[in-house]
Amino acid sequence: MFFEGSEKKLEVVVTLGKGLESLRSLGDEYWSEIVAASQAKILSKMSSASCDAYLLSESSLFVWDDHFTMITCGQTTLVPVVKLFLQSVPLDRVESLIFERKNEYFPHRQTTDFYEDIGHLRQLMPGKAYRFGRAEDHHLFLFHLDRPYSPPKEDVTLEILMYDLQAESARVFSSGQHDSTKICELTSVDKIFSGFQIDDYVFEPCGYSLNALNNEKYYTIHVTPQEASSYVSFETNYDVCQELPQTIQRVIEVFRPGSFDVALFHPERSLPIQVPGFELRSQTSQELKCGYGVTFTHYESPHRPVEGAYEIKEWTSARL
Amino acid sequence: MFFEGSEKKLEVVVTLGKGLESLRSLGDEYWSEIVAASQAKILSKMSSASCDAYLLSESSLFVWDDHFTMITCGQTTLVPVVKLFLQSVPLDRVESLIFERKNEYFPHRQTTDFYEDIGHLRQLMPGKAYRFGRAEDHHLFLFHLDRPYSPPKEDVTLEILMYDLQAESARVFSSGQHDSTKICELTSVDKIFSGFQIDDYVFEPCGYSLNALNNEKYYTIHVTPQEASSYVSFETNYDVCQELPQTIQRVIEVFRPGSFDVALFHPERSLPIQVPGFELRSQTSQELKCGYGVTFTHYESPHRPVEGAYEIKEWTSARL
């Protein structure tokens, strides 16, 4: 079964005032329409004093007063979300806009590629676009609004993008085997950090999503356990810079990937990251004009013996 | 400028007789139509006693009496070639058919993906399909007709697929700088093996193709020097098993890639390959039911420092 776990992400910061008191007060119906523009839908909502966290049919949306973060996978597309959002909040109210897109397992099945996406975004705003990582290897595309911005000091985002899960780890997240309670018991995904409230969802026939919220801090996990394209993303705005290797290690141990990427957004500097037990294969660092330092690092397990070829038993003769 | 150097390949062996005396005698017009079915066209032809070698607008075609090998890049597609060929040579005359497809730089710009391709091929014949290498990493897809076949002992094919060329190497192959004579003088691509006749082509605005022929033996080189998607393929049926590391080394030194893959088709066994100066990152070996042992190996240069992000200055808002 084909499912694209690799995600696109949109992060937008706005200036409040002039009739816009809070993005949260735009309401569930507004955000449902925003989500629908990406071809996903809202499954559930959890709120803290500072944030509304929506679990989506394809990943997650977090809305704070003055910014939102939308992460979507599958065949969703975020350029229509930008267009729709700018109809209610004009571009001059946007302080920062960052659009990311991870390299995909099944890129041909996407409705657009990144080059098309940024072609459309450039018609809406001035922007700069980058590729972190080599084109023929793991990489992350990034587009940002070309406008000076000074992120708050504590504005750190950590993304851990995991591939090639060990069969045993993948099996835990295949529905029919375990419900949400059992998954949390077996993996402690609900306790990556302490003091967070949890909203999670077990998908049919397989897959798992989790939103975790502690006032303005979140973490979120999305699991695609399918053997042909196994993928897990972990993301948080919890400031983990003091214990970055430990945090990465903790997440890696839950999912046991064969390889993974780390993207770190830091308002001041890009950090070098070493992860015990894995080889750092490549590292890309860039200071962006929109105020963030971004480091993208690709790791592989060093223990990779000669393998047999993977026999493909799925195909389609449908025109995609 | 976008150009997909990564190739598809079709290799077909037939039983002669019953009115089919030689595939070569089907004639240039026939092979022009076959090539047109892939959306490519013939640029030139060179012949030896055993083989007709066609240089194509997108790569190469080699035709012997009882088999042919067609390699195409760009947005070409080989499934229509299979369909057209089977109209003149029915499936019961086909002894072996292998279709390969390398992972691409711009997969979204392809008219099909491999899963679609094999969906169509399965409607024409029984087959097995494999992926060599991990889905999220360098990999080679392979489909073969599910029919027992015993390749001749000397039937060895070596493919070296090179990525991330050093800027200096890439520049040699950018047109406007050098003609064919100068390229051969600077790189010795015409002397990878001795005793071969050469037919080559310098593309505008850049790119280079070479066919080399020595009776039934060929080698062929296709260079895509564009910075955003640099790629070179080298392929030969010259039996290099006795000096495999030296041959790979010689080819690698011409193009100086940051990483490369080796695919080796051998009728008896799959060989382990070590290449000095590069790290073997992964190796996949499979004995195929159609008689070949295939080894696919991915190598990376160990000297890869922290890089800045690649700024993307090309995009399109056209629907692809």
- Residue of B129, B272, B315 lying closest to A312 (CB–CB): B129
Beta strand B208-214 with B67-72 is: unpaired
Residue A150 DSSP label: -
Any idea what the CATH number is for the domain that residue A81 is in?
3.60.90.10
Residue A25 DSSP label: G
Minimal C-alpha gap between B118 and chain A (Å): 6
The Cα-based distances of A179 to A219, A255, B14 in angstroms read: 20, 17, 55
Nearest Cα residue in chain B from A279: B281
pLDDT of residue A176: 72
Most distant CA atoms of chain A, gap in Å? 62
Domain assignment of residue A239, yes or no: yes
Residue A74 DSSP label: T
Give chain B's mean pLDDT.
92
Q: Which tens digit of pLDDT belongs to each residue from B2-40? A: 899 999 999 999 999 988 999 999 999 999 999 999 999
Q: How confident is the model at residue B214 (pLDDT cuts 50, 70, 90)?
A: very high
Contact predicate B193/B238, CB 8 Å: yes
Domain assignment of residue A1, yes or no: no
Percent of chain A with pLDDT over 90: 77
Kindly state whether B289 is in contact with chain A, defined as any CB-CB distance less than 8 angstroms. no
The answer to whether residue A317 scores a pLDDT higher than 70 is: no
Size of interface A-B (CB pairs under 8 A): 177
Kindly state whether A124 is in contact with chain B, defined as any CB-CB distance less than 8 angstroms. no
The answer to whether residue A248 scores a pLDDT higher than 80 is: yes
Domain assignment of residue B315, yes or no: no
3-state secondary structure of A155: coil
Residue B238 sits in which domain range? 8-300
Minimal C-alpha gap between A236 and chain B (Å): 23
H or E element, residue A257: strand A257-266
pLDDT of residue A319: 57
Q: How confident is the model at residue B276 (pLDDT cuts 50, 70, 90)?
A: confident
| b/e sequence B255-288, b meaning 16+ C-beta within 10 Å | bbbbbbbbbbbbbeebeebebeebebbbbbbbeb
Minimal C-alpha gap between A274 and chain B (Å): 13
Q: Which tens digit of pLDDT belongs to each residue from A268-283? A: 665 667 788 898 888 8
Angle at A212 between CA A208 and CA A217, to 5 degrees: 145
pLDDT of residue B124: 97
Kindly state whether B147 is in contact with chain A, defined as any CB-CB distance less than 8 angstroms. no
Domain assignment of residue B280, yes or no: yes
Q: Which tens digit of pLDDT belongs to each residue from B220-249? A: 999 999 988 999 999 999 978 778 888 999
Q: How confident is the model at residue A170 (pLDDT cuts 50, 70, 90)?
A: confident
Angle at A309 between CA A138 and CA A257, to 5 degrees: 40
Which single residue is written with the structure tokens 């909203």?
A: A199
Q: Which tens digit of pLDDT belongs to each residue from A71-86? A: 999 999 999 999 999 9
Question: What span, in angstroms and rounded, lies between the C-alpha atoms of A166 and A299?
Answer: 16
Question: What span, in angstroms and rounded, lies between the C-alpha atoms of B320 and A42?
Answer: 29
Residue numbers of A annotated as active site: 4, 7, 59, 73, 209, 222
Crossing angle of helices B114-124/B79-88, nearest 10°? 20
pLDDT of residue B243: 83
H or E element, residue A117: helix A114-124
Q: Which tens digit of pLDDT belongs to each residue from B81-101? A: 999 999 999 999 999 999 999
Contact predicate B257/B275, CB 8 Å: no
Minimal C-alpha gap between B283 and chain A (Å): 5
Q: How confident is the model at residue B137 (pLDDT cuts 50, 70, 90)?
A: very high
Q: How confident is the model at residue A261 (pLDDT cuts 50, 70, 90)?
A: very high
pLDDT of residue A45: 98
Domain assignment of residue A76, yes or no: yes
Specify the range with the lowest mean pLDDT, choosing from A109-113, A208-212, B29-33, B141-145: A109-113
Domain assignment of residue B211, yes or no: yes
Q: Which tens digit of pLDDT belongs to each residue from B180-203? A: 999 999 999 999 999 999 999 999
Kindly state whether B277 is in contact with chain A, defined as any CB-CB distance less than 8 angstroms. no
Contact predicate A182/A174, CB 8 Å: no
Nearest Cα residue in chain B from A259: B136
Q: How confident is the model at residue A318 (pLDDT cuts 50, 70, 90)?
A: low
pLDDT of residue A167: 84
Q: Which residues contact A296 (CB under 8 A, 6 or more apart)?
A: A132, A133, A139, A140, A261, A262, A263, A283, A284, A285, B309
Q: Which residues of chain A are within 8 Å of residue B141 when distances are taken between CB atoms?
A: 312
Contact B228 A135 (CB under 8 A): yes
The answer to whether residue B71 scores a pLDDT higher than 90 is: yes
Specify the range with the lowest mean pLDDT, choosing from A126-140, A194-208, B56-70, B303-317: B303-317
Summarize the confidence of residues B293-305 as an average pLDDT: 85
Q: How confident is the model at residue A154 (pLDDT cuts 50, 70, 90)?
A: confident
The answer to whether residue A37 scores a pLDDT higher than 90 is: yes
Q: What DSSP string describes chain B?
A: -------EEEEEEE--BTTB--SGGGHHHHHHHHHHHTT--EEEEEE-SS-EEEEETTEEEEE-SSEEEEEE-TT--SHHHHHHHHHHS-GGGEEEEEEEEE--SSGGGSS--HHHHHHHHHHHS-EEEEEES-TTSS-EEEEEESS-----TT--EEEEEEEEE-HHHHHHTSTTT--HHHHHHHH-GGGSSTT-EEEEEEPSSS-EEEEEEETTEEEEEEEE--GGG-EEEEEE-S--GGGHHHHHHHHHHHH-EEEEEEEEEESS-PPP---TTSEEEEEEEEE-TTS-EEEEEEEE-S----BPPEEP-----S--
pLDDT of residue B319: 56
Summarize the confidence of residues A231-246 as an average pLDDT: 89
Specify the range with the lowest mean pLDDT, choosing from A303-307, B6-10, B216-220: A303-307
Contact predicate B12/B85, CB 8 Å: yes
The answer to whether residue B303 scores a pLDDT higher than 80 is: no
- Residue of A112, A304, A314 lying closest to B115 (CB–CB): A314
Summarize the confidence of residues B39-68 as an average pLDDT: 98
Contact B309 A294 (CB under 8 A): yes
The answer to whether residue B270 scores a pLDDT higher than 60 is: no
Q: Which tens digit of pLDDT belongs to each residue from B246-259? A: 899 999 999 999 99
Residue numbers of B annotated as active site: 4, 7, 59, 73, 209, 222
Q: Which residues of chain A are within 8 Å of residue B281 when distances are taken between CB atoms?
A: 281, 300, 304
ω before B305 within 30° of 0 (cis)? no
Specify the range with the lowest mean pLDDT, choosing from A203-212, A285-294, B169-178: B169-178
**Domain tally, chain B:** 1
Q: Which residues contact A19 (CB under 8 A, 6 or more apart)?
A: none
Kindly state whether A161 is in contact with chain B, defined as any CB-CB distance less than 8 angstroms. no
Give chain A's mean pLDDT.
92
3-state secondary structure of A37: helix
Contact A311 B130 (CB under 8 A): yes
Domain assignment of residue B312, yes or no: no
Most distant CA atoms of chain B, gap in Å? 62
